[in-house]
Structure formats: structure tokens, C-alpha cells
A and B are shown apart, each in its own frame.
Chain A
Amino acid sequence: MFRPEPPRLFTLNTSAWLALELCSGRSPGELERAYLDETVPPLDAEVARRRLHDALDLLLANGMIERLAGTGWHAGEA
């Protein structure tokens, strides 16, 4: 995955990649529902929620997504 600003390449595992693909344009509630729809099963709902929140923390920390005021997240163009 390429982050344009500042430019850097990242490798994401499946859990993080799924969160990145789903987050853009969704509210926090919509994102959680979408992530759970894709991952439960095989994961149970509580584990899936933790995976999603951990993934968002990592994506935010690495500048791959940004939090929009009150509405959710925006993923940068890859």
C-alpha cells in the first residue's frame, strides 16, 4: 500500500487491509457493521471489534487514514 504524503510503502495483513478498504465514507457504526459482516464468522463479534479498533489505531498512527470530524474516516488514495 502506498501512502502518498509523505511517500512511503506499507505492507498490511488481511485484518488491517480489510479495515482500510471498508473505512472510507462510513460512519463508525457503519464501519463496525461492515467489518463484522465480513469477519463474523470465522471471528466472534467481540474479537472482530477488537481487530477493527486495533487496525484503525495502526492506520491512523501511520497516516493512512484520517478521522473526519464526527463522521468517520477517510482513507488516502493508494
Chain B
Amino acid sequence: MEQKDRIARLRGLIKDGRALERPEVEPLEPVIRSGDTFLFRDPRKRGATAEEQDFVEGSLKDGLLVGTFIVEWGYDIKKGQHEKFRRWLLDHERLLALSAPEDVGYKGTYVVTSSTEKQAGDYRTIWAFASLRGPQNLAAEVANEHSPFTRLWNELNQFRDGDSSNRSQQNLSPAATSIRLV
């Protein structure tokens, strides 16, 4: 982001009534949990045994698994927006799920009623992918600004508070078909 864009964003925050409170500059202590424990793969493809592939196929059909891999967003929404966000979800969440591209599943947005993770955000949105084509399809879809899904995707993301340091992302794979490296 260029400086003129950053200043435009700041103007937006000030215009939106974001309090110009006493200045704060706080060092961040990053916690990085890298994915070096498990091998990332599609458990329905080459390298997985027939039993594993059958298990995943059957479990997806039965609803036991929600995806061959899952992405969980953790975030806060902008201050004072909970009721508006809740209304938006009531009105649009099903449309978002129905308009998702092939191999991409929107699996809902949740509030965190309790957690041991203090900085992961108060909200979670779950995306499930049926295959590795899913993320490619998702990227292609959100690049199309005329897509109904993209409009909903953008509306959802506009509720997120980009200034909050409380955010997280987790990528999950079915443990039953996982390969542990260490």
C-alpha cells in the first residue's frame, strides 16, 4: 500500500468516528506456529492409500468431514458493528454458501464463546475445500468483481477490523489421513 493510500485509509478511519485517542506504539511479540509437523497433501489423490481415499470420499458424503482441508479465519469486527454484522449474516450467509465456486465451501461464521487463544479474534469464519482446485477457484472467483460471490465476500470482509491485532488463520487437514513428519 502506498503512502497516499495509507493516508486515505486513515482519513476514512477518522471520518468513521474512529477515536483519535492518546497515541500508542506497542511492540509486537509474534508467535509463529509453522506447518512443519504435518505434510500438506490432498488425501484423495496420489500418495494416499485406497483406504484413506475411500475414507475421505465417504466421510465427505456422510458429512463427517467438512472438507479435505479447512481454512479458519479468526478476526475482530469493527467496533460497534456486531448487530449490523449479525443482520448481514442472517440476510446473506446462505447466499454466500450457495454462490461459492466449485470445491469451495463456506461453512459459517461463528463467535468465540470461550478460547485459550487471546489474540485470535472474537469471530471465526470457516472455509472448506474439497480439493486443491478449491483455492485456485476461489482466487479466480474473487478476482472477478462482477461475481455475486465476490460482492458477498467483499461485504463480509468489510466488517473485519483491519486495525485489530487480534487475528489468526489456521489451515487444517483430516488427522485420519495425515502424515506426521516429526
Q: A interface vs B, CB < 8 Å?
A: 8-19, 21-22, 38-39, 42-43, 48, 51, 54-55, 58-59, 61-62, 64
Contacts and interface: CB of A to CB of B under 8 A. Distances in A.
Contact of B22 (A17, A22, A51, A62): A51
Given A51-B20, A54-B22, A11 B6 contact: no
B165 interface: yes
B82 interface: no
B21 interface: yes
Contact of A54 (B13, B23, B26, B30): B23
Interface residues of B, number: 22
Interface in B1-55: 3, 6-7, 10-11, 13-14, 17-28, 30
Contacts of A59: 25
A31 B50 CA distance: 67
> In the complex, which of the residues B17, B18, B25, B27 has the most CB atoms of chain A within 10 Å of its own CB atom?
B25
Contact of A14 (B20, B26, B27): B20
B163 interface: yes
Given A8-B28, A16-B24, A54-B23, 14 more contacts: A11-B28, A12-B26, A13-B24, A14-B18, A14-B21, A15-B21, A38-B10, A42-B14, A43-B20, A48-B20, A58-B23, A58-B24, A62-B25, A62-B27
Given A9-B30, A38-B10, A38-B14, A14 B163 contact: yes
